[in-house]
Structure 1
Amino acid sequence: MIKESDLFIETKDFFLTQENFTIHKTSVPGVLKTIPQPEDLSPYYETTDYLSHDDSDPSIFARLYRLARKWNIKSKYKLISTYADDGSILDVGAGNGELVRYLKEHHLDAQGYEPSKLARDVAYRKGVNLLDHLPTSKSNYYQVIQMFHVLEHIPNPESILQDLHKMLVEDGVLIIALPNYKSWDAQFFKRFWAGYDVPRHLFHFEEQGVRNLVKDHFELIKTRPMWLDSFYVSILSCRYKKWPIPTVLGMGLGLVSNIYAIFTSQPSSRIYILKKHN
């Protein structure tokens, strides 16, 4: 499905290791691939600086991130509950379990899968037991499966889409969220754009790429912008460029990106709501 092709951009792991990587176009228009892809990605995640996995960072930026996460969880709950009815919900890439806990507290039948032991341990301390494997044996079981900023981390996106298709009930819905490399902030920051996040992000997407990737298994029924993501990504990108007062500059540039997105329909990140078809 994916093969190496033309060079798209050269970048590096600004977040952790400073190792160099390249991003290439693939045989699927609108889908890009990180080269090389490390066989063992766990060292690139096992740090308390990876905020979606750990809650211990006391910095102002981390506190702002956690505040935004709480708002996002409420927004995700409203979206998921629209499609969940009385069916089961699976959160793939559940991080530290905050969303699963919130869904359960609101009487929804939810469980989560998280490959990172560090994140699962954080979730466990909060009273949330997360699966350490994808429950592929549960065919036609889930009403809603959601993956917020997960597909870009997976080395075989087409394969997991096939698995999720089988796990969903006949009228089931898959909700995914992905960074958009055609956004204003991506064009502005170029190789420093935090949305690339190599090598943790193995693949990179824009809307047509998602349509091309899912067409055999799902119908795209709706998209929604993720307005807060532009601020988070822009702040990190300013940090990578070593600009002064990155939080202030990032907030301003994130706002600019959102304003552009109103007119271009190219937000920093986008939610895709996909309905299973046979």
Structure 2
Amino acid sequence: MECRDFLVSGEKFKLVPVDDFEILKTIPVPQNLASYYESENYISHTDSTKGFTNKVYYLVKKHMLDQKLNWIETLKSPGKLLDVGAGTGEFILHAKNRGWQVNGVEPNKSARNLALLKNLDLKKELSGYEGEKFDVICLWHVLEHIPDPENEISRLKDLLNKGGILVIAVPNYKSYDAKYYKEFWAAYDVPRHLWHFSQKGIKKLLSRFDFNLIQTRPLIFDAYYVSLLSEKNRTGSLNPVKALFRGWKSNRQAKRTSEYSSLVYFFQNS
């Protein structure tokens, strides 16, 4: 499949399968990849609530902060938590207020500066935590951005206590909304998303590092939000009614197939 960068450049990129993993890779990978994040519309690096999609995003995000921590706290009591790709720090700020000892990594300088305004000092790179150990490490829609996910997972394993929990949320290219929107599916988000995962693919990847999958949770709202952006990619307009229907249909089908638009995987370090 060939997809266009709808956010920054308008360039086209191919999605190619990787071995038998049911993982797709974006090619080519631009040498100046950081420049493809330089947009005021790249929502993870801003606290702006301007515009309809930003307002929707932040309403959902606020609701999900509690939900995400509730899921984690069914598996671990508050302890030491690392958020990789922490953005502007909203999640770890919420975790801190719930009694967690929080730490974060965020490569983007603008996002780190916004986190500083919340008294959160995020490190630029994972190497800043070398030698430390954590009870929980989270990657909320981050693994798909990482050039070498195998190396990253190996490094994260070294930072995680035995029995610790690795939380990975990624889009699922086998969902109904992905199949419906095809090359216009917003969660392909090339070239920022370098990798595209199925459930089988993510499980096989993590099993190579002796992680045990103990729980999977759907991100129900992602189907609606991604459909909203996908409608804009396809037609040039948000079409909220159509997007709402497609999101609803995706979630309805996923109740039978388990192929939700995005999924959160909870892996335990053995």
Give the match's secondary structure for 2:250: helix
In structure 2, the residue matched to 1:224 is 217
Trace 1:210-249 onto structure 2 (pairs within 5 A).
Answer: 210-217=202-209, 218-242=211-235, 244-249=237-242
2:5 and 2:11 in contact (8 A); partners too: yes
For structure 1, the residue ranges without an aligned partner over 5 or more in a row are 1-8
Q: Which amino acid aligns with 1:151?
A: L
Shift of 1:40: 2.3
Are 2:23 and 1:23 equivalent residues in the alignment? no
Are 2:40 and 1:48 equivalent residues in the alignment? yes
Shift of 1:243: 5.2
Give the match's secondary structure for 1:178: strand
Q: Distance in 2 between matches of 1:39 and 1:269?
A: 28
1:83 and 1:143 in contact (8 A); partners too: no
Q: Distance in 1 between matches of 2:104 and 2:240?
A: 32
My pick for the range that moved more, 90-99 or 49-58, is 49-58
Cα–Cα, structure 1 residues 126 and 247, in superposed 2: closer, same or farther, change >3 Å?
Answer: farther
Q: 1:146-195 CA deviation, whole Å, 9 max, x = no partner? A: 10100000000000100011110111110100100000000000000011
In structure 2, the residue matched to 1:205 is 197
My pick for the range that moved more, 53-62 or 162-171, is 53-62
Q: Distance in 2 between matches of 1:25 and 1:202?
A: 12
In structure 2, the residue matched to 1:66 is 58
My pick for the range that moved more, 190-199 or 49-58, is 49-58
Q: 1:105-136 CA deviation, whole Å, 9 max, x = no partner? A: 11111111111111111211232221111145
Give the match's secondary structure for 1:195: helix
Q: Distance in 1 between matches of 2:205 and 2:72?
A: 22
Shift of 1:205: 0.2
TM-score of the pair, normalised by structure 1: 0.93
My pick for the range that moved more, 118-127 or 180-189, is 118-127
Q: 1:234-268 CA deviation, whole Å, 9 max, x = no partner? A: 00000001254522321221111111111111000
Q: Which amino acid aligns with 1:213?
A: L
Are 2:120 and 1:132 equivalent residues in the alignment? no
Q: Distance in 2 between matches of 1:133 and 1:18?
A: 29
Q: Which amino acid aligns with 1:75?
A: Q
In structure 2, the residue matched to 1:178 is 170
In structure 2, the residue matched to 1:152 is 144
In structure 1, the residue matched to 2:3 is 11
Figure out how many residues of one structure are paired with residues of the other and give that number.
268
Identity %: 40
Moved over 3 A (4+): none
2:229 and 2:238 in contact (8 A); partners too: no
TM-score of the pair, normalised by structure 2: 0.95
In structure 2, the residue matched to 1:3 is none
Q: Distance in 2 between matches of 1:35 and 1:160?
A: 20
Q: 1:5-33 CA deviation, whole Å, 9 max, x = no partner? A: xxxx1111012211010000012421110
Cα–Cα, structure 1 residues 245 and 91, in superposed 2: closer, same or farther, change >3 Å?
Answer: closer
Cα–Cα, structure 1 residues 250 and 167, in superposed 2: closer, same or farther, change >3 Å?
Answer: same
Give the match's secondary structure for 1:198: coil
Q: Which amino acid aligns with 1:119?
A: A
Give the match's secondary structure for 2:122: coil
Give the structure with the higher percent helix.
2
My pick for the range that moved more, 151-160 or 76-85, is 76-85
2:7 and 2:39 in contact (8 A); partners too: no
Give the match's secondary structure for 1:73: helix
Shift of 1:83: 3.1
For structure 2, the residue ranges without an aligned partner over 5 or more in a row are none
My pick for the range that moved more, 216-225 or 144-153, is 216-225
Q: Distance in 1 between matches of 2:238 and 2:269?
A: 45
Q: Which amino acid aligns with 2:142?
A: V
Cα–Cα, structure 1 residues 236 and 86, in superposed 2: closer, same or farther, change >3 Å?
Answer: closer
Aligned counterpart for 1:258 among listed residues 234, 251, 254: 251
